């Protein structure tokens, strides 16, 4: 698969250069110039400080995958026997040869480096633009983002010294340009409209007009019983200066969870200069949504807002990388993590994508359930994009996370038009989809042949309501839509299940997908109508069984309890 933005050399191209590099191998280059939203300002000043993050070749990623599936597959005798931080890290730690070679090269060039992860597979160096240009045969320039005015340092190609080519997989930032806004609108619409507090006899059918915690509880059988296990936590990530507001949360709970204390709140973890200012005018609608529908559904589960700043001024990709580095270093990361942001798979270099996905595998092996919204662009990544082939979302195609699509309406639910879904071009179909996906492909037949990778990992895995969620933001009640509504909803369901499992002396669910496809499919409502248009097509259609609009379907909490052996 060739990325639209950057390209791994098809064959190692040796370059004879002078200076520090000696003989080098072209590692990555852009086929084109910078993305259209960036304007070249000129060469970067050589003494400008530059922090580079470098991914080293992992020793046994296939072994990590095997043990992840072993502890995540209900039929395995090792099901639920999750790894420790050190045990998971051992599978991806660089070999002694890699460590020795890289150490030697750094010493020769008088470079100090810092290990970023427990495995030591990500390191960072502090250098300057001039030195980086020499070390990696690069030509860093300053580019200005047209909308935000933010400046980034990027090179259109770089090389790796020949002796490091089998030991270094990614150098960042180099050829990949950041985004400074969400992949697609978290809010398909955001209409300011005052909502009345729900009546006591609110039933599931009300989700067809306005979604509240009460109607989700009724529709999906989600209990209002408070959780009891303080060790069971739910992490919510926030990017792009999206901050949650405690006053908004208190107002939301007062209106929509009158059985809870309105002072129920969340804790904050900040990285990359992240913060959570409580000036109500600075509240972010996305962050408010994610917090209100985790605190407001996963009753009394401790919720952690992970606020990721832009101290490096480098957009979403560094935020995602630094988030996973932060989580890998935690002795006890949240058992469930939900993220409402993503990227287009074609805009993330495959080496970077694989490294991030393998990091999710480490967390899954440690018992963490990771959920991502499947995207709001149907089969095209974003509804307005012009495309000739379908555009998968990242990391929705990573097999080690659970991708959550969107539905709307009730009795029956239907797949919402913007629900991101399709097939990865980076990852092959995982074993847990060996029956479900071929059945859908047989139903699809020759339709869209050549527009998608029929051998790729299919997504989403599951779905939940995604339209007309009532939230409070900046002191006002508004209506929000997007798969970023669905992901925190499903994550809350899993957090409540984990609470019951831990209370029963059992481990949390961890990676959900092998369990969902093999055991728990009966515990989901199969959504059989709806489609996700894009790329001048009507997109995929929902049908009986798994489909790339709503996955296996929407949750039925009492049946999920049964599937979990509770």
Asked if 481 and 187 count as a contact pair (C-beta separation under 8 A), the reply is: yes
* In the chain, domain spans: 7-58+93-172, 231-563
pLDDT tens figures, 208-241: 789 999 999 999 999 999 999 999 999 999 887 7
Mean pLDDT of 43-55: 95
What average pLDDT does the structure give for the chain?
88
User: How many other C-beta atoms are found inside a 10 Å radius of the C-beta of residue 210?
Assistant: 18
- Output the six-digit token pair for 295: 């605190």
pLDDT tens figures, 410-464: 999 999 999 999 999 999 999 999 999 999 999 999 999 999 999 999 999 999 9
Mean pLDDT of 140-157: 91
pLDDT tens figures, 233-291: 999 998 877 889 999 999 999 999 999 999 999 999 998 888 888 887 776 788 999 99
- Based on the residue annotation, tell me whether 290 is a catalytic residue of this protein: yes
pLDDT of residue 5: 36
Q: Which of 43-47, 192-196, 479-483 has the lowest mean pLDDT?
A: 192-196
pLDDT of residue 317: 62
The radius of gyration computed from the CA coordinates of the chain, to the nearest angstrom, equals: 23
% of the chain at pLDDT higher than 90? 73
Asked if 116 and 123 count as a contact pair (C-beta separation under 8 A), the reply is: yes
- H-helix or E-strand spanning residue 485: helix 483-503
Mean pLDDT of 116-139: 95
Asked if 380 and 387 count as a contact pair (C-beta separation under 8 A), the reply is: yes
- Output the six-digit token pair for 233: 């936590």
Query: Which one is catalytic: 121, 286, 300, 347?
Result: 286
pLDDT of residue 347: 85
Query: Which one is catalytic: 484, 487, 492, 495?
Result: 484
pLDDT of residue 243: 86
d(CA 544, CA 201): 32
Query: Sign of dihedral through CA atoms 557, 563, 564, 565?
Result: positive
pLDDT tens figures, 155-167: 999 999 888 999 9
Question: Which of 11-25, 266-280, 514-528 is most confident?
Answer: 514-528
3-state SS string for 163-195: HHCCCEEEEECCCCCCCCCCCCCCCCCEEECCC
pLDDT of residue 273: 80
pLDDT of residue 207: 81
pLDDT surpasses 60 at 202: no
Q: What is the CATH number of domain 231-563?
A: 3.40.50.200
- Output the six-digit token pair for 490: 């499903």
d(CA 206, CA 214): 9
HSE, side-chain direction, 13 A CA sphere, residue 198: 27
- Based on the residue annotation, tell me whether 134 is a catalytic residue of this protein: no
pLDDT of residue 341: 85
Query: Which one is catalytic: 242, 248, 288, 290?
Result: 290
The 3-state DSSP composition of the chain as helix, strand, coil percent (nearest 5) reads 30, 25, 45
pLDDT band at 25 (very low <50, low <70, confident <90, very high): low
- Based on the residue annotation, tell me whether 32 is a catalytic residue of this protein: no
């Amino acid at each position: 698969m060739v990325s639209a933005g950057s390209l791994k050399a098809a064959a190692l191209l040796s370059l004879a250069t002078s200076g520090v590099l000696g003989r080098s191998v072209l590692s990555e280059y852009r086929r084109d110039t910078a993305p259209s939203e960036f304007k070249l300002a000129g060469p970067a000043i050589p003494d400008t400080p530059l922090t580079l993050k470098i991914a080293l070749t992992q020793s046994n990623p296939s072994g990590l995958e095997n043990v992840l599936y072993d502890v995540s597959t209900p039929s395995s005798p090792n099901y639920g026997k999750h790894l420790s931080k050190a045990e998971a890290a051992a599978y991806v730690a660089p070999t002694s040869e890699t460590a020795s070679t890289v150490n030697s090269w750094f010493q020769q060039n008088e470079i100090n480096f810092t290990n970023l992860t427990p495995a030591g597979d990500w390191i960072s160096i502090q250098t300057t633009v001039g030195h980086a240009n020499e070390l990696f045969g690069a030509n860093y320039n300053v580019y200005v983002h047209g909308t935000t005015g933010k400046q980034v340092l990027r090179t259109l190609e770089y090389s790796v010294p020949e002796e490091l080519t089998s030991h270094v997989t990614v150098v960042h930032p180099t050829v990949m340009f950041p985004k400074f806004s969400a992949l697609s609108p978290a809010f398909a619409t955001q209409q300011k409209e005052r909502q009345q507090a729900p009546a006591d006899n609110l039933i599931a059918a009300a989700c067809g007009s306005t979604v509240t915690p009460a109607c989700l509880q009724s529709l999906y059988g989600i209990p209002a019983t408070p959780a009891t296990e303080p060790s069971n936590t739910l992490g919510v990530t926030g990017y792009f200066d999206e901050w949650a507001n405690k006053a908004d949360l208190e107002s939301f709970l007062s209106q929509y969870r009158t059985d809870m204390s309105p002072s129920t709140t969340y804790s904050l973890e900040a990285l990359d200069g992240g913060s959570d200012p409580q000036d109500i005018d600075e509240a972010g609608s996305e962050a408010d949504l994610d917090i209100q529908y985790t605190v407001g559904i996963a009753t009394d589960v401790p919720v952690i807002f992970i606020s990721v700043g832009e101290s490096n001024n480098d957009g979403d990709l560094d935020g995602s990388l630094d988030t996973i580095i932060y989580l890998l270093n935690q002795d006890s990361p949240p058992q469930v993590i939900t993220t409402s942001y993503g990227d287009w798979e074609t805009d993330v270099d495959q080496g970077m994508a694989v490294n991030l996905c393998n990091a999710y595998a480490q967390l899954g092996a440690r018992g963490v359930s990771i959920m991502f919204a499947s995207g709001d662009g149907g089969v095209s990544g974003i509804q307005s994009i012009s495309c000739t082939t379908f555009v998968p979302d990242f990391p929705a195609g990573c097999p080690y996370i659970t991708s959550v699509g969107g539905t709307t309406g009730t009795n029956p639910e239907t797949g919402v038009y913007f629900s991101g879904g399709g097939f990865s071009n980076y990852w092959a179909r995982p074993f847990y989809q060996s029956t479900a996906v071929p059945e859908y492909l047989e139903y699809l037949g020759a339709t869209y042949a050549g527009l998608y990778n029929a051998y790729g990992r299919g997504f989403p895995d599951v779905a939940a309501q995604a339209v007309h969620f009532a939230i409070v933001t900046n002191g006002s009640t508004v209506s929000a839509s997007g798969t970023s509504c669905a992901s925190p909803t499903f994550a809350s369901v899993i957090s409540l299940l984990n609470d019951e499992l831990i209370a029963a002396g059992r481990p949390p669910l961890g990676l959900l997908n092998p369990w969902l496809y093999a055991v728990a499919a009966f515990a989901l409502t199969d959504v059989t109508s709806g489609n996700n248009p894009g790329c001048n097509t009507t997109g995929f259609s929902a049908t009986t069984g798994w489909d790339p609009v709503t996955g296996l379907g929407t949750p039925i909490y009492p049946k999920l309890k049964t599937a979990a052996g509770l």
